[in-house]
Amino acid sequence: MAGSSQLVKELREKTGAGILDCQKALTENGDDIDKSIDYLRQKGLAAAAKKAGRETNQGLVHSYIHMGGKIGVLIEVNCETDFVARNEEFKAFVNDLALQVAAAKPSYVRREDIPTDVVEKEKTIYEGQAKEMGKPPAAWPKIVEGKLEKFFQESCLMEQSFIKDPAVTIKDLVAQKIVKIGENMNIRRFTRYQLGEA
C-alpha cells in the first residue's frame, strides 16, 4: 500500500519532513524508504535554494565548553526572525553545530573563506607529494585536485560529515533545517579554542 502510516512514520523519524511530504515521497518511489529519503533531500535542497536570497540578520551567538573546560567554541548562526532565534529547535541546531566545531576542528565555514595563498600552498605541497611518489607529471593535476577536495572536506565546516549522522554533510543539514523551520539560515562565523593550542 503506497504511503502506509507505518512507512510514513518511519520516514518522518528519519528525515523530519512533514506527513504530506513523506506520503508523496513514498508514493513517488514505490514505498522504498531509501529512495524516498533521497527524494526528500533533493526537494529540500531545492526549497532551501529558493530561500537562500533572503536576509538573515537575527540569530544566536552560542558558546559551548567541552571536556571540563579544555575545548571551547563560540559560533554565530543567523536566521531571518527573532521568533525563530528563540525557537528550541533552532537553539538545538546551533548547539549541534558548536559540537561539530569542537569535535571536527574545521578552520573555515566554507571553501570560499579560505585565502587564495593557503589554497596555492596546499596545491604546491600536493604536487610535491605526487612527484615524490614517482607519479608521471600528467597525473599530477588529478592527484592535486583529489587531495584538495579532501582538504576542503576536512577544513570547511559546510563540507564536513555531520558527527551525529555521517551520511549527511553540514551543508545538507542546514538545508534540511531551512526547509523544516521555513527560514533562511546562515552559519556566519565560529572560533574554536583548545587549551594549550598555539
Mean model confidence pLDDT for the chain: 87
Kindly report the CATH number that applies to the domain delimited by 58-109+156-194: 3.30.479.20
Q: Confirm if 26 and 2 have CB atoms less than 8 A apart.
A: yes
Cβ atoms < 10 Å from Cβ of 27: 12
Confidence grade of residue 91 (pLDDT, cut at 50, 70, 90): very high
pLDDT in tens, 32-66: 888 887 877 676 654 555 555 566 678 999 999 98
Burial 142-170 (b: 16+ CB within 10 A, else e): ebbeebeeebbeebbbbbbbbeeeeeebb
The stretch 12-24 carries a mean pLDDT of: 73
How many residues does this entry show for the chain?
Answer: 198
How does DSSP assign 73-96, residue by residue? EEEEEEES-HHHHT-HHHHHHHHH
The stretch 116-141 carries a mean pLDDT of: 90
H or E stretch covering 168: strand 165-169
Residue ranges of domains in the chain: 5-51, 58-109+156-194, 115-154
The second-level CATH assignment, the architecture, of 115-154 is: Orthogonal Bundle (1.10)
Handedness of CA 107, 110, 116, 121 (dihedral sign): positive
Report the topology of domain 5-51. Answer: Helicase, Ruva Protein; domain 3 (1.10.8)
pTM for the model:
0.71
Q: What are phi and psi of 57, to 5 degrees?
A: -125, 20
Q: Confirm if 80 and 184 have CB atoms less than 8 A apart.
A: yes
